Amino acid sequence: MEASTEGRLVMQLKIPDTDKLILREALEKAIKDIDREITFSGNWKERVVLEKRKEILKVVLAEIPDVTEIAA
């Protein structure tokens, strides 16, 4: 891992395409679940925390290549 300019660690994962697909699907589901929590949360502080989590997950998701076809 290396230090980034934003004060966060940079991590590289070397995983097979099947695992990339599974990871992308899990992140997409987590983002949708957080959206639902934000919608139904009556606590604005909780919404702020959820929005931050959602943004972090989106950044991670953007770094994982979209694998549309998986070789058998």
| pLDDT tens sequence across 2-51 | 445 566 667 788 899 999 999 999 999 999 999 999 999 999 999 999 99
Domain boundaries, the chain: 15-72
Quick one: pLDDT at residue 12? 82
Token code pair at residue 45: 């502080």
Sign of CA dihedral 49, 51, 55, 61: positive
pLDDT of residue 66: 86
The predicted pLDDT at position 40 comes to: 95
The span from the CA of 60 to the CA of 70, in Å, is 21
